[in-house]
Structure 1
C-alpha cells in the first residue's frame, strides 16, 4: 500500500461510500500450504454496533473456501477508477509520469455462517443489486428446486473489519495549474480517465 499521507483518505464515511460504489472486490487469503489464494466477489458493507462487516457468499470446496477454514485472516481489495497520467501535462514536464487510482484495502477475520443464514443473505444480496422490487430474478422469486441445488454448493460468510487503508491518489501533490491541466487531459480520455477527472474535481470543490 502506497502510504504517502497526501493520498490517504481517513474519513470513514467516505471509505464506506467508496465500498458501496465499487462492491466487486478481490478477496485474498493464504492456503494451508502457505500459498496465496484470491477470488473476485461482490460484497455488502454493514455497520453493526459501531463496527464494520463485509458480507457475501462463495463456492464450497474451492481453494479460497478451504483457505479460510484454516486461516481466517483476509485482505479485501476494492478498486475504483484508475488511469495513466502523463508528465507532459505538468508545468514541469521533465519528470516521471504516474498513475492515478482509488483503492481501499480491508483487513479482517472471516467467519462462515450456518446454512440457515444463507437464505437471508442471498435475499439481501439480490435485492440490493437488482435494485428493483418487481424483478423476477430476486431470490424470493426463484424456483425452490433451483435454490435447493444452488445452496448446497455455496456458503455465506461475514468479515469483521479490523482495519481499512484508503488511498485516493489523484494528483494532490501537483501545483494548481498542473492539476487543472491533468483534469482537462483526462476529460478527453476513456471512461476510467473521465471518472478520475470527476473525482479530482471533487477535491477542487
Structure 2
C-alpha cells in the first residue's frame, strides 16, 4: 500500500495506516462540494487482509456538514500525525537545508448516515478511547441525559475508496544526519514514528 508519488515518503503499509489512526484519530472530514469541514474522531474497521474497509463516526445533526453530506455523500478525510520543523542546527551542518517532517493520510470515502446506528457508533468510539483506563467510562453513566444527547447527533460510516499518504520522516537523510536529528527530538511520539518509518536501516 502507498500511493503518493515515486519517492520513499509514499511507501507505507496497512500496519502504518492502522498505527497512525490509532495514535491520531481526530481527522478533518470535508465535503469537497460545499467546502464544509469539521474535526471529528473516527474509528476504522479493518478487513481480514489488514486493509481498511470503513471508518465509523458521528456528528451533530445541526452541523452544516451533516446537511452538505446528505446532499452529496462524497467526502475527504485528512489525518495528521506527528510533525516538526528541523533546523540545520539540529544536524550540525550549515550547508544542510532545513525541512519539515510529518505524517499524513488522505482518504476519499462515501458517507452513509445511520440514524439507527448512532448509539453503536458512540459505543465504538467510547470503547476505543477509554480502552486501557483503570475505570473505563461508559455512556450509561450519563443517565437520562444520554437519550437527549443521542437525539442531537447522528452516526455514520465512511466507506473507504482511495487512500494515499505521505510519511516524510527522514527516510532520505544520510544515516549520520538522521542520527543527529533523532538526538535532538524531544517529542517521544515523533521519535517513535521516525524510528518506525526508518525501521529497515535502524538497529
Classify 1:134/1:171 alpha carbon distance in 2 versus 1 (closer, same or farther; 3 Å).
closer
Unmatched tracts of structure 2, length 5 or more: none
The 4+ residue runs of structure 1 with deviation greater than 6 A are: none
Alpha-carbon offset, residue 4 of structure 1: 5.0
Deviations 1:78-126 (A, max 9, x none): 111110111334465324311001111111111101x321122222221
Is 1:126 matched with 2:120?
A: no
Post-superposition shift, 1:195? Answer: 2.6
Residues 48-96 of structure 1: CA distance to partner in whole angstroms, max 9, x if unpaired? 4765110010001322111101111111111111101113344653243
Give the TM-score taking structure 1 as reference length: 0.84
User: Which residue of structure 1 aligns with residue 194 of structure 2?
Assistant: 200
DSSP-derived class of the 1:36 partner: coil
Aligned to 1:37: 36
1:173 and 2:172 matched: yes
Label 1:200 to 1:133 Cα distance change in 2 as closer, same or farther (>3 A).
closer
Question: Given that residues 29 and 38 in structure 2 are in contact (C-alpha distance below 8 angstroms), is that contact kept between their aligned partners in structure 1?
Answer: yes
Q: CA deviation at 1:142?
A: 2.7
Equivalent residue, structure 2, for 1:116: 116
Work out whether residues 4 and 164 of structure 2, in 8 Å CA contact, stay in contact via their aligned partners in 1. Answer: no
Whole-angstrom CA distance in 1 between matches of 2:154 and 2:21 = 22
Q: Which residue of 1 aligns with 2:160?
A: 161
Q: TM-score, structure 2 length as denominator?
A: 0.85
Deviation string, structure 1 residues 24-48 (Cα, Å, up to 9, x no partner): 1111113xxx541211111100024
Alignment RMSD, CA only?
2.3
For the 8 Å contact 1:75–1:107, the answer to whether it is kept is yes
Cα distance change of structure 1 residues 195 and 130 upon mapping to structure 2, 3 Å threshold: closer
Contact 1:91–1:177 at 8 Å: present in 2 too?
Answer: no
User: Closer, same or farther in 2 for the Cα pair 1:133/1:139, shift >3 Å?
Assistant: farther
- The reply on whether 1:8 has 2:10 as its aligned counterpart is yes
Matches of 2:146 and 2:153, distance apart in 1: 11
d(CA) in 2 for partners of 1:73 and 1:49?
Answer: 25
Q: In structure 1, what is the Cα distance between the partners aligned to 2:168 and 2:140?
A: 41
- 1:58 aligned partner: 59
